Chain A
Amino acid sequence: MNQADLVKPGRFLDPKVLARISDLELLARTVVDGFVSGLHRSPYLGHSMDFAEHRGYAPGDDIRRLDWRVYARTDRYYVKEFEADSNADFTLVLDVSRSMSFGSEGLTKLDYARILAACLAYFARAQRDRVGFAAFDTELVSYVPPSAKHLPAVLHAIDRLAAGRPGQLAGPLLQVAEASRRRGLVVLVSDLYQDPEVVLAAVSSLGRRRSDVIVFHVLDPAEVHFPYDAAQPFEDLESGERMSVVPEAIREEYRRLVEAHVASLRRLLGESRIDYTLLETSQPLDLALFAYLTWRQRLDRVR
């Protein structure tokens, strides 16, 4: 059963509707609770301090994990097992370059990324992960180190985000990687307007400390499908450069280049064991949340 079968498309709230909720925490809780309640099976059980099971004591077990109450009732030694409680770092890295302010249908990529980041942060914190946050354009513009108590600070930082300057990946991501001291999960949300090789080099720096990296490639539908008809100049949001274009003539070529770019990213990042997910801002958030849960599942197997 794949992820798409578990949660039907459209189950969660539309991102455009979510964008109207100003309280990020409320928004994240709404999305995450709705997402969790939709899970009927348990392969994606969350990790917490919740009790899992008892098993008989075996030599070598840590006696601190003996359940003395059960011993008092049964006069036998049982070890209390809990769900994994990794306290892993969960760092959200958000691209706030000028290109992220683009939105063809009201919802900008940055709005979508902000909602996504808030949901992931809330979800991660619900899984007892230490939540951290970084935002960048050409340099790091905001950084909240991972901590079990930093969820409010992270949500606040996300709330204050505004796209401004042109962006680049290498420098800021290297800074984030250097600031990270523990193994964990780094989630990069960006539109990745750089060559796949450059993206790979930049993203790879995040995995230096054996952290897992998930890349959410956020694009507007207009960037993917290029639905323009009329001949008109197009202006690069970051460089301000203009270019006269007859969309009708270049649409297919454009789409082919975008598809090639995405395919190249998927291939290169996959080869580096980096999860890559393409998100269009018209899509619900479940794909992103599933990507996170998949990683947590992998982490479970490690415990």
Chain B
Amino acid sequence: MGLAFLTPAFLLGLFAVAVPVLVHLVQRQRRDAVPFPSLMFLQRIPIRETRRRRVRHPLLLAARCLGVLLLAVAFARPLLPDATRVATPLAGAREVVLLLDRSYSMGHGDRWPRALMAARQVIDGLGEEDHASLLAFGGTVEEVVASTSDRARLRGALEAVRLGAGPTRYAPALKAAQERLQATPRPRHEVVLVSDFQKVGWQDEGPEDLRLPEATTFNPVDVAGSDFDNTAVAGVVLGREYASGRERITVSARLVHKGRALRRDLAVSLEMDGRAVETRTLTLEPNASATVAFGPVALPPATTRASVRAAVDALPQDDAFHFLIAPGREVSVLVLEAGGARPQASLFVRRALEIGDRPRFRVEVKPLGALRAEDLASRAAVVLNDTALPPATAGHLLRSFVERGGGLLAALGDRGGAGAGAFWSPSAPIDRGEGSGGTLAFLDYTHPVFEAFKGPRGGDFTSARFLRYRGLKDESSWRILARFDDGTVALAEQPLGRGRLMVWTATLDTLWSDLPLKPVFLPFVHQLMKHVAAYAPPPPWREVGQVLDVAEEASSGDGPAAEVRVVMPSGRTLRVPASGEGRFLTLEEAGFFELRRGAEPTGRPVAVNVDVRESDLSVLNHEEVAAALTRGPEGRERRATVDRDATPEESQSRQAWSWRLLVLALALLTTEAWVANRLSRVGSVGQPNEGAAP
């Protein structure tokens, strides 16, 4: 194969090589003239023309001419003979890896049918000795059919492949193809990628990070077409408010429109339990986004399935956004005081917890001696506020409560050290009243209690002064979350059963410290109680591809279920064991899942949405992908392997010689300009210097 040019007309630019020479010969001096008293003698010297034509810097002139020549050749797009093509086997059995993109963006228009048709053609084109494997991929890769020469099996498996709801990730699929090609004994390798070549598919790992084995033909089949318009409901924001003692929720949906067309009168509806509650219309500009705010809705007593739906377009998968609306979960806290405690011993902690609604705390204060088992039912946390260690009965109740998953916070005061240390071993009170008092010197900002305060101006704990506090005798079994400036433990945590135990070694009133008077006290108590009570509101929605712990999601106060039936959005039902590794379920569909314990007719819903990043249908030039994937190990362009029957134009587009020549020409001309400039700066006697004309 000889040297050819795709756009040979640009070779006419070779005549431009004469330009630097002509410029040199006929150039006019454009620099400032040197004033001279008289040209009388200069005009008598008959050497003006001939001397100017003398080349002073032949290398510079040669560089200019070469730069022009390279530019002309680069624009002519040379098609160089491919040395590696000889090394590529032209005969023998093929190992074909067929990668079929089934991400939900393939549901746009007629992409999926076209993709299936292209895959069928690949299968039909297999020779008798050729082998092929079929891999379907989205966010993950599934080997539909391992390497086989059975075309009927391949066709049957292809028909069984369904469009998924996941995003596009090319890297795992290409790596899987790479592994299969490396293991095959067949001499000819081919990768066929049937996809819409979305740009978002390369977000984590670009094509330049991947490389197919040597002598592999990469054959991209682009089914994206020319329609890239798409509107998606990208997400919702749920705002809660309390009005007239009732909790209301306000839904705001964000819509994103990608494309060049104007989307007029787009209807967007809020549905709750499958019933449209409110519909709004809006107009979306090209490549714009908008927010639709629906009116407030009174929260139903039970968890409600809700969706925001936009009018269906060419890609219906992202036209609805599903979520759950549940009443705000209250955190019930029981504060236990010692009998005969100070009237205001629990005032500060109670008042602090009564403020705020994210979450709402329901606080009840009781003396420790009046504790009954029913007092702990449906409690999330218990605070032992400056009481002696619980007596045997109460202690047993509390231990049982914590082991079942409850939370216990002990605030130690004068009475906190009395009794046998069933849960903790407090030290004697440390008196810091003589000086300015003790301060909190260490806070574990990685812990959820203090994580909210790690930002700048996130809360000043150092301003609080502690006149007395206790410590813990056995620190080793505790996770220390805070210490005073003398190293004494201020806050410690210990798991106990399914619950957790926390100890605050000072009082929660103003008897031992002024912390309750500081602004940081309220958020501190809130964070503390949320952690003790293991408060974690369930997410209103999840995303396709996430893994769900079915056993945990389906558990209730009645204990874990033996088996969970998962009713999927498509209507299929899965039986998932409630224990062991099998209890994890990968969410592969968008919509509402329902987790039913045992034989229950209804279950707990889980809302799942598609990854909205996939809604961006912007494409990556598959020729660039091909060029990157088939690059040689030294970064050398290996060959135009995209298509064995590729035309010179297609092959040329997959190689980079033109760019290299362009870069070389620019580098040459830049260097020439720099050198010429340097030469021109070689000064003459007391005069401005002239450029180094060659």
A, B from the same assembly: yes
Chain A positions near chain B (C-beta within 8 angstroms): 99-100, 102, 104-105, 109, 191, 193, 220, 222-223, 227-239, 241-247, 249-250, 253-254, 257-258, 261
A230, B39: Cβ atoms closer than 8 Å: no
Instruction: Chain A residues near B42: list those with CB within 8 A.
Output: 234, 243, 245, 250, 254
Instruction: Chain A residues near B689: list those with CB within 8 A.
Output: 229-230
Q: Which interface residue of B34, B683, B687 has the most chain A CB atoms within 10 A?
A: B34
Partner of A249 from the list B28, B37, B40, B54 (CB cut-off 8 Å) is B54
Whether B45 is near chain A, meaning CB under 8 Å from some CB there, is yes
Q: Known contacts A231-B52, A250-B45, A250-B47: does B684 contact A102 (CB below 8 Å)?
A: no
Encode contact with A along B35-60: 1 for CB under 8 Å, 0 otherwise.
11111111111011001101010000
Kindly provide the distance from the CB of A183 to the nearest chain B CB, expressed in whole angstroms: 33
A228, B685: Cβ atoms closer than 8 Å: yes
Whether B514 is near chain A, meaning CB under 8 Å from some CB there, is no
Whether B686 is near chain A, meaning CB under 8 Å from some CB there, is yes
B37, A228: Cβ atoms closer than 8 Å: no
Whether B636 is near chain A, meaning CB under 8 Å from some CB there, is no
Closest 8 CB pairs of A and B: A229-B684, A230-B690, A99-B37, A235-B33, A227-B685, A233-B33, A249-B51, A233-B29
Kindly provide the distance from the CB of A134 to the nearest chain B CB, expressed in whole angstroms: 21
B37, A223: Cβ atoms closer than 8 Å: yes
Q: Known contacts A243-B43, A250-B45: does B686 contact A105 (CB below 8 Å)?
A: yes
Whether B31 is near chain A, meaning CB under 8 Å from some CB there, is yes
Instruction: Chain A residues near B51: list those with CB within 8 A.
Output: 246, 249-250
Whether B693 is near chain A, meaning CB under 8 Å from some CB there, is yes
For the complex, give the distance between the alpha carbons of A191 and B689 in Å: 27
Q: List 15 A-B contacts (CB under 8 A).
A: A102-B37, A222-B686, A223-B36, A229-B687, A230-B684, A233-B29, A234-B34, A235-B33, A235-B36, A238-B37, A244-B52, A245-B42, A246-B51, A246-B52, A249-B47
Instruction: Chain A residues near B28: list those with CB within 8 A.
Output: 244
- Using CB atoms, name the residue of chain A closest to B41: A257
Q: Which interface residue of B54, B690, B693 has the most chain A CB atoms within 10 A?
A: B690
For the complex, give the distance between the alpha carbons of A247 and B39 in Å: 13
Q: Known contacts A230-B684, A232-B29: does B48 contact A245 (CB below 8 Å)?
A: yes
Q: Known contacts A227-B686, A228-B684, A230-B689: does B41 contact A254 (CB below 8 Å)?
A: yes
For the complex, give the distance between the alpha carbons of A257 and B29 in Å: 25
**B interface size (C-beta, 8 A):** 33
Partner of B45 from the list A100, A102, A253 (CB cut-off 8 Å) is A253
Main secondary structure of the interface of A (DSSP, over half): mixed
Instruction: Chain A residues near B45: list those with CB within 8 A.
Output: 250, 253-254, 257
For the complex, give the distance between the alpha carbons of A223 and B37 in Å: 8
Instruction: Chain B residues near A261: list those with CB within 8 A.
Output: 41
For the complex, give the distance between the alpha carbons of A220 and B29 in Å: 25
Encode contact with A along B160-185: 1 for CB under 8 Å, 0 otherwise.
00000000000000000000000000
For the complex, give the distance between the alpha carbons of A92 and B682 in Å: 44
Instruction: Chain B residues near A99: list those with CB within 8 A.
Output: 37-38
For the complex, give the distance between the alpha carbons of A105 and B687 in Å: 11
A232, B48: Cβ atoms closer than 8 Å: no
For the complex, give the distance between the alpha carbons of A102 and B685 in Å: 16
A193, B38: Cβ atoms closer than 8 Å: yes
B36, A238: Cβ atoms closer than 8 Å: no
Q: Which interface residue of A100, A232, A254 has the most chain B CB atoms within 10 A?
A: A232
B1-45: which have CB < 8 Å to A?
A: 28-29, 31, 33-45
For the complex, give the distance between the alpha carbons of A104 and B52 in Å: 25
For the complex, give the distance between the alpha carbons of A250 and B47 in Å: 7
Instruction: Chain B residues near A235: list those with CB within 8 A.
Output: 33-36
Instruction: Chain B residues near A254: list those with CB within 8 A.
Output: 41-42, 45
Instruction: Chain A residues near B688: list those with CB within 8 A.
Output: 230, 232
For the complex, give the distance between the alpha carbons of A100 and B35 in Å: 12
A244, B37: Cβ atoms closer than 8 Å: no
For the complex, give the distance between the alpha carbons of A249 and B47 in Å: 8
- Using CB atoms, name the residue of chain A closest to B49: A244
Q: Which interface residue of B29, B31, B54, B680 has the most chain A CB atoms within 10 A?
A: B29
A244, B41: Cβ atoms closer than 8 Å: no
Partner of A104 from the list B41, B56, B682, B686 (CB cut-off 8 Å) is B686
Instruction: Chain A residues near B34: list those with CB within 8 A.
Output: 228, 232-235
- Using CB atoms, name the residue of chain B closest to A106: B686
For the complex, give the distance between the alpha carbons of A244 and B687 in Å: 15
Instruction: Chain B residues near A228: list those with CB within 8 A.
Output: 34, 684-685, 687
Instruction: Chain B residues near A241: list those with CB within 8 A.
Output: 39
B38, A242: Cβ atoms closer than 8 Å: no
- Give me 16 other A-B pairs in contact (C-beta within 8 A), A238-B38, A239-B39 excluded: A102-B37, A109-B37, A228-B34, A229-B685, A230-B680, A231-B29, A232-B29, A232-B34, A233-B33, A233-B34, A234-B42, A235-B33, A235-B35, A242-B29, A254-B41, A254-B45
Partner of A234 from the list B39, B684, B693 (CB cut-off 8 Å) is B39
Q: Which interface residue of A222, A230, A243, A261 has the most chain B CB atoms within 10 A?
A: A230
Encode contact with A along B462-487: 1 for CB under 8 Å, 0 otherwise.
00000000000000000000000000
Kindly provide the distance from the CB of B601 to the nearest chain A CB, expressed in whole angstroms: 99
Partner of B35 from the list A193, A237, A247 (CB cut-off 8 Å) is A237
A232, B37: Cβ atoms closer than 8 Å: no
A193, B43: Cβ atoms closer than 8 Å: no
For the complex, give the distance between the alpha carbons of A183 and B29 in Å: 53
Kindly provide the distance from the CB of B683 to the nearest chain A CB, expressed in whole angstroms: 8
Kindly provide the distance from the CB of B32 to the nearest chain A CB, expressed in whole angstroms: 8
B31, A232: Cβ atoms closer than 8 Å: yes
For the complex, give the distance between the alpha carbons of A184 and B31 in Å: 50
Kindly provide the distance from the CB of A228 to the nearest chain B CB, expressed in whole angstroms: 5
Instruction: Chain A residues near B682: list those with CB within 8 A.
Output: 229
Instruction: Chain B residues near A193: list those with CB within 8 A.
Output: 37-38, 40
Q: Known contacts A227-B685, A243-B48, A250-B47: does B690 contact A232 (CB below 8 Å)?
A: yes
- Using CB atoms, name the residue of chain B closest to A250: B45
Instruction: Chain A residues near B36: list those with CB within 8 A.
Output: 102, 223, 234-237
Instruction: Chain A residues near B47: list those with CB within 8 A.
Output: 249-250, 253
Instruction: Chain A residues near B35: list those with CB within 8 A.
Output: 102, 234-235, 237
- Using CB atoms, name the residue of chain A closest to B685: A227
Q: Which interface residue of B41, B44, B47 has the most chain A CB atoms within 10 A?
A: B41
Instruction: Chain B residues near A234: list those with CB within 8 A.
Output: 33-36, 39, 42
- Using CB atoms, name the residue of chain B closest to A257: B41
For the complex, give the distance between the alpha carbons of A104 and B34 in Å: 11
Instruction: Chain A residues near B44: list those with CB within 8 A.
Output: 257
B687, A232: Cβ atoms closer than 8 Å: yes
Instruction: Chain B residues near A246: list those with CB within 8 A.
Output: 51-52, 54
For the complex, give the distance between the alpha carbons of A246 and B45 in Å: 11
Encode contact with A along B199-228: 1 for CB under 8 Å, 0 otherwise.
000000000000000000000000000000
Instruction: Chain B residues near A232: list those with CB within 8 A.
Output: 29, 31, 33-34, 687-688, 690
Partner of A243 from the list B39, B680, B683, B690 (CB cut-off 8 Å) is B39
- Using CB atoms, name the residue of chain A closest to B39: A236
- Using CB atoms, name the residue of chain B closest to A235: B33
Encode contact with A along B655-694: 1 for CB under 8 Å, 0 otherwise.
0000000000000000000000000101111111110010
Instruction: Chain A residues near B41: list those with CB within 8 A.
Output: 254, 257-258, 261
- Using CB atoms, name the residue of chain B closest to A166: B38
Instruction: Chain A residues near B693: list those with CB within 8 A.
Output: 231
Q: Known contacts A228-B684, A231-B693, A243-B43: does B54 contact A191 (CB below 8 Å)?
A: no
For the complex, give the distance between the alpha carbons of A234 and B28 in Å: 13
For the complex, give the distance between the alpha carbons of A214 and B93 in Å: 109
For the complex, give the distance between the alpha carbons of A244 and B36 in Å: 12
For the complex, give the distance between the alpha carbons of A223 and B42 in Å: 11
Instruction: Chain A residues near B687: list those with CB within 8 A.
Output: 228-230, 232
- Using CB atoms, name the residue of chain A closest to B29: A233
For the complex, give the distance between the alpha carbons of A254 and B38 in Å: 12
Instruction: Chain B residues near A230: list those with CB within 8 A.
Output: 680, 683-684, 687-690
- Using CB atoms, name the residue of chain A closest to B679: A230
Kindly provide the distance from the CB of B682 to the nearest chain A CB, expressed in whole angstroms: 8
For the complex, give the distance between the alpha carbons of A242 and B48 in Å: 12
Instruction: Chain B residues near A244: list those with CB within 8 A.
Output: 28-29, 48, 52
